[in-house]
Each structure stands twice: as structure tokens, then as C-alpha cells.
Amino acid sequence: MSETVKFSYGGKDFELPIIEGTENEKAIDIAKLRAQTGLITIDPGFKNTGSTTSSITFLDGELGILRYRGYNIEELAEKSTFLEVAYLLIYGDLPTQHQYEKFTREITTHTLVHEDIKKILEGFPSNSHPMGVLSSLICSLTAFYPESLDPNRNEDAVNLSIVRLLAKMPTFAAWAFKNEVGHPVNYPDNSLDYCSNFLKMMFALPAEKYDVDPIVAKALDQLLILHADHEQNCSTSTVRIVGSSQASIFASISAGINALWGPLHGGANQAVIEMLEQIKADGGDTKKFLDKAKDKNDPFRLMGFGHRVYKNFDPRAKIIKKAADDVLLKLGVKDPVLEIAKELEYAALNDQYFVERNLYPNVDFYSGIIYRALGIPTDMFTVLFAMGRLPGWIAQWKEMRHNGEPIGRPRQIYTGAVDKHYVSMNKRG
Ligand code: SDX
């Protein structure tokens, strides 16, 4: 008999099963709680609540461990490529040479988008934030591929949508940037690898020759690997719950992009740079801003610090911090906000408020500094986060649909008015 949890309520004794995962994590299975006791559980922000079982990503917040399909992030970041990691996450293991060549060839030959996308793009004023443009263009794929709306499509048809998403995301991301700065868009160049093609679509200008810097392309590829999945975070949970209503994969990913946009989530990488710039403009007084972050009456938070799960160093932050030093050195870039970031990190890691709350730098703290060194404009940082997270969202959506999970529909405890009666307007006070 597997482990159970016993409790008493209303003069009766109850017993619920405990489930255990492959990394010895345990949960109380409350599927029958309401039927047996009339009770539900409540947990704002789901800090103690699991929404599903999953075999895609494992992270241990206490030990600072992150694994994609069992492979440590440190090893994948050093030895793999983003598209190989995308295959690993989506299809369950590392591809053979043949599988990888077929996968990358399919993606390369789907990078072009329908010319009518330009008409949608032209509808967005210059200076539109590229995240709003990106989520709209991704959702517009439901119009160009209406067959994607059929919830009962076969595996091959779903795989074609997956290839289209991975292939067209860089094109849409680069075009959203071009729209923001009022430059003409660039078509994909299928002779280039995934990241080089994105960089060229983003930075090439009609008047000038553009050669991709291999250091920049390699650094970007590693950053995308580090962002590729992170179990049931806010945006992934959004993708899963939208997909649970049998909405199309394009609509589900578009919803995930919007959830990621928030400054408490993927939008933090943009907010970190804005915060560091604010500290620099204010004279670089890191202690003043640390005190602001600790002041409960001040809404200011140390962006890029803290994490719902990691109560130790975010393993991605360690890799990105080292990569930031390497990339800036290789590119000969001196960025004063990097020094401010290091000062802030040192001060926070030695401050009781942050130590007792286990607030460490997260993935967003240093990523913005690298993006800046690579020439990426600040409000494109979260777009790059979305590009990286795309295979994770896809893998999670596919797992949820493959497992036939029910539509997500949480319950609530009602705290509003009780038993009120209608009074005609002329008699209301
Ligand atoms: C991402 O979930 C994921 O996996 C996300 C992500 C992914 O890969 O998908 O890892 C990506 O979103 C990383 C997080 C990026 N966000 C930021 O950097 C924004 C700044 N950080 C926070 O706002 C906060 O830490 C969260 C949102 C990340 C986590 O918030 P929680 O888990 O809800 O924790 P909390 O807000 O309840 O904070 C606990 C305490 C509070 O103080 P007390 O009430 O105990 O006195 O810590 C304090 C908070 O005030 N606190 C901070 C702080 N973060 C938490 N105080 C100052 N600065 C901060 N950054």
C-alpha cells in the first residue's frame, strides 16, 4: 500500500493517497477530497499546489538543480545547441544525427511567413512594444492555418504546427523589432543557422552589409538554451490551461507570451536594466536602492532577485553571470551597469533581509547585460526570453494534450454578498 495521509474532520477520519515522483518529490492526491469531505483547498499563487505530473523538466529550488529530460542544464548549456535542446524537450530525448538534420531542415524551410503578415504588422504604430506585436502575430497563425483549430488533428499535423512555431518565431520577433524602429523587414536567410538568421533579420539594413558575429550568435544560442523550459512557471501554466480547453497550440502559445510579459516574470529582464540604469543615473548608490527594496512602504523591488522556487542560486544565473564576463571581454564591451549589478549582488547576498528570505539573483538578473552587449534593445529582452521558452511551452502543451488532462477549472471560496433582493432604481439610496 502506498503512503497515505490521515486526518479527521467533522468527527470523521479520512485518508488520502500520497504520490511520489522519480526525484522523490511527494504530493497529497486530493482528487477525491471534496467528494469525501466537502472541503476544497485554497492556495493563492499556487505556492504549495501542484497542477500536474510532468516528465519534462525537474528543478530543485533548495539545491539549485535544473534538468531538461534528466540532463543537467550546465551540461546542455556547454555542449548542446538550442535546436537540439528544443528537440529534447519536445520529443523526449536527444535526437540522432538523422533526426536532428530532418528537424533543423524542416524548421529552416518554414521560416518564411505569409506576405499578409505585413498588413497586420503595418497596423501596429511604430514604438509598439514588441511583445504585444509578437503575441498577436503568433495568434494570427490560426488565421493562416485554420486547420490548426481542429482539436482532433493527428500527430503529423500537430508536428507541422510545432515546426511552424519554431521556424516563424524568430521571423516574427525580428519583424516586431523592425516595426518598432520603423525599418523595413528582412526576409529569412536559409543559409544561416537559427540564431544567425534571427540576428541578420533583426539588424541587417538595406544600406549596409551585415555579417553575423559568431561570438554573438553562440552567446544567443546558449541564452536560448538557458530559457528553454522551467516546469510549471506562470507562462507555462498559462499555456497549459489555455490548451486544456482544446484551444489551438497557436492561441495557447500566444497566451503564454502575454503571461511572460509581466515584470514579475519574463518582463523582469527589461526591468533589471531599467533599475540598473536608474541606480547609475542616481549616482550609483546601491545601498540606497537596497534599502528601498526592503522598505515595505516602497513598491520598489530588486528586479532580477528572488524566485518562487529557487531558495538558492538560480543555476542559470550562475552560467549567465560567467557568460556576461566572457562575452563583454570578447566583444571589448565595457558596460558600467555590469559593475553596478555585481555591487548590488554582493550587497544583497550579505544583507540579512535578502539572506533570511533566500533572495538570490535569478535568470533575469544578468541576462539583460548580455543582451545589451549583443546589441539587443531593452524592450526586446523579453521577446528573446519568449524565443527561448517556446520549445518548453510546446513540450508542456503537447504533454498536457497527450495525457488527456481535463480542462483547468479551479474552485473558489465565495466571500461576497449573500441573499440580496432587487430594488428598482428609483428606490435606491
Ligand atoms: C522568472 O517561476 C519561474 O520559474 C519563473 C522563471 C522562469 O524561468 O519561468 O524563473 C522566470 O520569472 C524569474 C523571476 C523574475 N522576477 C523578478 O526578478 C521580479 C522580482 N522578484 C519578485 O517580485 C519575486 O521574488 C518573485 C515574483 C520572483 C517571487 O515572488 P514570491 O515567490 O511570490 O515571493 P514573495 O513575493 O511572497 O516574496 C517573499 C518575500 C516578501 O517579503 P515578506 O513578505 O516575507 O516580508 O520576499 C520579498 C517579499 O517582499 N521579496 C523581495 C523580492 N522578492 C521577494 N523583496 C525585495 N526585492 C525582491 N526582488
Which pLDDT belongs to residue 414?
Answer: 97
Which pLDDT belongs to residue 1?
Answer: 62
215, 207, 423, 425: which is closest to 333 by C-alpha?
215
Summarised one tens digit per residue, pLDDT across range 259-317 is 999 999 999 999 999 999 999 999 999 999 999 999 999 999 999 999 999 988 899 99
Which pLDDT belongs to residue 313?
Answer: 87
Residue nearest atom 12 of ligand 1, based on CA coordinates: 265
Between 2 and 316, residue with greater pLDDT: 316
429, 302, 322: which is closest to 366 by C-alpha?
322
Residue nearest atom 48 of ligand 1, based on CA coordinates: 357
* Residue entry with cell 523592425: 178
Summarised one tens digit per residue, pLDDT across range 53-83 is 999 999 999 999 999 999 999 999 999 999 9
Q: How confident is the model at residue 408 (pLDDT cuts 50, 70, 90)?
A: very high
Strand-pairing partners, residue 19, are 27
Domains of the chain: 4-65 (2.20.28.60), 73-265+394-403 (1.10.580.10), 268-373 (1.10.230.10)
Say how far apart CA 17 and CA 282 lie, in whole Å.
Answer: 56
Over residues 241-260, the mean pLDDT reads 98
Q: Are strands 71-72 and 57-60 parallel, antiparallel or unpaired?
A: unpaired
pLDDT at 429 over 90: no
204, 58, 134: which is closest to 385 by C-alpha?
134
Backbone angles phi, psi at 361, to 5 degrees: -60, 140
Query: Hey, which of 307, 351, 366 would you mutate to test ligand 1's pocket, going by the most ligand atoms within 8 Å of its Cβ?
Result: 307
Q: What is the mean pLDDT of the chain?
A: 95
Q: What angle do CA 154, 158, 159 make, to 5 degrees?
A: 115
Please tell me the distance between residue 80's alpha carbon and the centre of ligand 1 in angstroms.
30
Active site residues per annotation: 307, 364
Rounded alpha-carbon distances, angstroms, from residue 3 to 20, 28, 36, 54, 291: 9, 10, 18, 20, 46
Summarised one tens digit per residue, pLDDT across range 359-394 is 999 999 999 989 999 899 999 999 999 999 999 999
Q: How many residues does the chain have?
A: 429
